[in-house]
């Protein structure tokens, strides 16, 4: 293995760490993500139907209730006005003299709520849909003679699941979550680092400094140094971005209704976590080697973006076969995804989280991945050194 050039390593790290744009990019991403998540969750909460509440949102509307299901006091408090002639009211909405009209069915078992709105855009006003449902639900709940039926009827009764596997309890999703964090990390590193690695190599070629650099530091040493530098820079940036995101997720996840925020319910399986770490390390190494090899060949960063996109698509491909990954790991598609190097890391991380990858499959796939990583590194180094330039990379391998 080539030893990175310490002088060059220090130079590369220092020049990047000194740039304001480097730290700016790291700081702005979590800020933007947090703001977007808050906005999205607030927006969802505004239209979300909450069955356990005994209040309804407020807006101006009309309603027709031939079946007399709606609590008039509740409707009034919510800004509603009852109409007796639904047909006339519909004409008023069409003419624009009424904004929103809810028409309730006479038979709840087979009917539906019709909403008539004027000038509310392509998908309509989502608030009126939520309001229509809530108004009916809360009115019915208020009309119940047995209050203890409220929770099950509104869907807010808690459900606890206990699964068993091989005679022991199976924690289900809570055991899948921890090793899936590795998958998230893998995707984040791939997307974040891949383009940076290629750009770093292309920058030298674009700036025409490679030739003088090779006189004072061997191409192989420079190659190894650049890989180490870019990986270090990328991981530092990722850490700076991830920490606030992680803290935000743990602190506000529950309140914002983010998925699986209850980390105290996560079940950590030591063997899965250890295996997942190995797969992550191999996957990241393979990703770095491939992107470095592409970077060594391309003439500009733009030229590499097509390769980067293709590679990212392959990394994400297993996600589209989630059903097969969890329920039918022996299927031909999953087997191909398991052993094909570009798709293997994410496939293995999924299957490790689901607990359905055998030791034999794991070992064989990891060996293939390791071999592919070494091959990518060797080819990339040769291409970078320019030794195979005219005869092509394959022809130069035997030299």
Partner 1 sequence: MNFINVENLSKHFGQFRALNDINFSVAAGRSMAIIGPNGSGKTTLVRCLLGLLAPSEGTADIAGLPYDPRHPSRVGYLPEERGNFQRDTPLDVIRLFGKLRGLSHSDATSQAYDYLDEVALTAQARVPIQTLSNGQQQKIHLGVTFIGNPDLLVLDEPTRGFDPINQAIFKTFLQRQLREGTTLILVTNQMHEVEELTDHVLFLRNGDQYFVGEVEDARQKLGGRRTVLTYTGELPAKAQQWELKALEKGTVLMDSQHELRSANQMLQQLLSAGVNVTDFNTRLSSLDEIFVGVYGETGQFGDLN
- By C-beta, is 77 or 216 nearer to partner 1? 216
What's the closest the beta carbon of residue 312 comes to partner 1, in angstroms?
27
What's the closest the beta carbon of residue 216 comes to partner 1, in angstroms?
4
- By C-beta, is 351 or 382 nearer to partner 1? 382
Report the distance separating Cα 249 and Cα 253, nearest Å.
5
User: Are 301 and 331 a contacting pair, CB within 8 Å?
Assistant: no
Integer angstrom CA distances of residue 359 from 141, 305, 351, 387: 54, 36, 12, 40
- By C-beta, is 19 or 165 nearer to partner 1? 19
What's the closest the beta carbon of residue 31 comes to partner 1, in angstroms?
25
Report the distance separating Cα 367 and Cα 375, nearest Å.
12
> CA-based Rg of the chain, rounded to a whole angstrom?
29
What's the closest the beta carbon of residue 7 comes to partner 1, in angstroms?
5
Report the distance separating Cα 141 and Cα 52, nearest Å.
10
What's the closest the beta carbon of residue 301 comes to partner 1, in angstroms?
14
- By C-beta, is 330 or 392 nearer to partner 1? 392
Integer angstrom CA distances of residue 337 from 85, 129, 334: 62, 43, 5
- By C-beta, is 54 or 216 nearer to partner 1? 216
What's the closest the beta carbon of residue 241 comes to partner 1, in angstroms?
22
CB atoms within 10 A of CB 158: 5
Enclosing H/E stretch for 153: helix 150-154
What's the closest the beta carbon of residue 25 comes to partner 1, in angstroms?
15
Give the DSSP letter string of 234-248: HHHHHHHHHHHHHHH
Report the distance separating Cα 106 and Cα 114, nearest Å.
12
Please, which residues have CB within 8 angstroms of residue 301's CB and are 6 or more apart in sequence? 195, 198, 199, 202, 203, 206
- By C-beta, is 212 or 270 nearer to partner 1? 212
Q: From 130, 132, 74, 146, select the one nearest 103 (Cα to Cα).
A: 132
What's the closest the beta carbon of residue 13 comes to partner 1, in angstroms?
12
3-state SS assignment for residue 62: strand
Report the distance separating Cα 376 and Cα 43, nearest Å.
46
Please, which residues have CB within 8 angstroms of residue 121's CB and are 6 or more apart in sequence? none
- By C-beta, is 213 or 236 nearer to partner 1? 213
CB < 8 Å & 24+ apart, contacts of 79-85: 80/135
- By C-beta, is 213 or 256 nearer to partner 1? 213
Residues that bind partner 1 (CB under 8 A): 5, 7-8, 11, 15, 19, 206-209, 211-212, 214-218, 221, 386-387, 389-391, 399
3-state SS assignment for residue 102: strand
What's the closest the beta carbon of residue 6 comes to partner 1, in angstroms?
9
- By C-beta, is 272 or 382 nearer to partner 1? 382
- By C-beta, is 120 or 218 nearer to partner 1? 218
Enclosing H/E stretch for 164: strand 163-165
How many alpha carbons lie under 13 Å from residue 192 in its C-beta half-sphere? 24
Residue with tokens 């598609």: 333
What's the closest the beta carbon of residue 386 comes to partner 1, in angstroms?
7
């Amino acid at each position: 293995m080539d030893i990175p050039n310490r002088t060059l390593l220090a130079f590369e790290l220092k020049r990047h760490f000194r740039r304001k744009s480097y730290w700016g990019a790291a700081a702005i991403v979590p800020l933007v993500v947090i703001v977007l998540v808050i906005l999205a969750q607030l927006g969802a909460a505004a239209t979300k139907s909450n069955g356990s509440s005994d209040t309804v949102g407020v807006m101006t509307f009309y309603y027709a209730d031939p079946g007399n299901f709606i609590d008039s006091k509740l409707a009034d408090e919510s800004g509603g006005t009852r109409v007796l002639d639904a047909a006339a009211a519909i004409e008023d909405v069409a003419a624009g003299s009424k904004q929103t009209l809810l028409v309730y069915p006479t038979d709840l078992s087979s009917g539906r709520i019709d909403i008539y709105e004027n000038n509310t855009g392509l998908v309509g006003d989502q608030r009126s849909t939520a309001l229509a449902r809530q108004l009916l639900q809360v009115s019915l709940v208020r009309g119940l003679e047995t209050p203890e039926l409220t929770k099950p009827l509104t869907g807010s009764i808690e459900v606890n699941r206990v699964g068993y596997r091989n005679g022991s309890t199976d924690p289900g999703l809570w055991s899948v979550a921890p090793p899936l964090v590795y998958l998230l990390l893998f995707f984040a590193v791939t997307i974040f680092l891949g383009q940076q690695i290629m750009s770093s190599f292309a920058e030298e070629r674009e700036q025409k400094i490679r030739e003088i650099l090779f006189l004072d530091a061997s191409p192989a040493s420079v190659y190894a140094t650049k890989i180490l530098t870019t990986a270090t820079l990328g991981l530092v940036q990722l850490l700076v971005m991830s920490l606030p995101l992680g803290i935000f997720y743990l602190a506000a996840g529950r309140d914002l209704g983010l998925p699986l925020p209850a980390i105290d319910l996560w079940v950590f399986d030591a063997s899965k976590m250890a295996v997942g770490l190995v797969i992550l390390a191999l996957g990241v190494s393979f990703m770095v080697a491939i992107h470095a090899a592409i970077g060594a060949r391309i003439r500009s960063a733009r030229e590499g973006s097509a390769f980067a996109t293709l590679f990212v698509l392959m990394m994400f491909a297993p996600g589209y076969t989630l059903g097969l990954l969890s329920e039918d790991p022996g299927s031909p598609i999953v087997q191909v995804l398991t052993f094909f190097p570009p798709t293997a890391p994410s496939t293995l991380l999924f299957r490790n989280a689901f607990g359905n990858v055998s030791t034999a499959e794991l070992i064989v796939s990891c060996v293939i991945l390791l071999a592919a990583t070494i091959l990518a590194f060797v080819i990339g180094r040769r291409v970078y050194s320019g030794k195979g330039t005219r005869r092509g990379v394959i022809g130069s391998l035997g030299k």
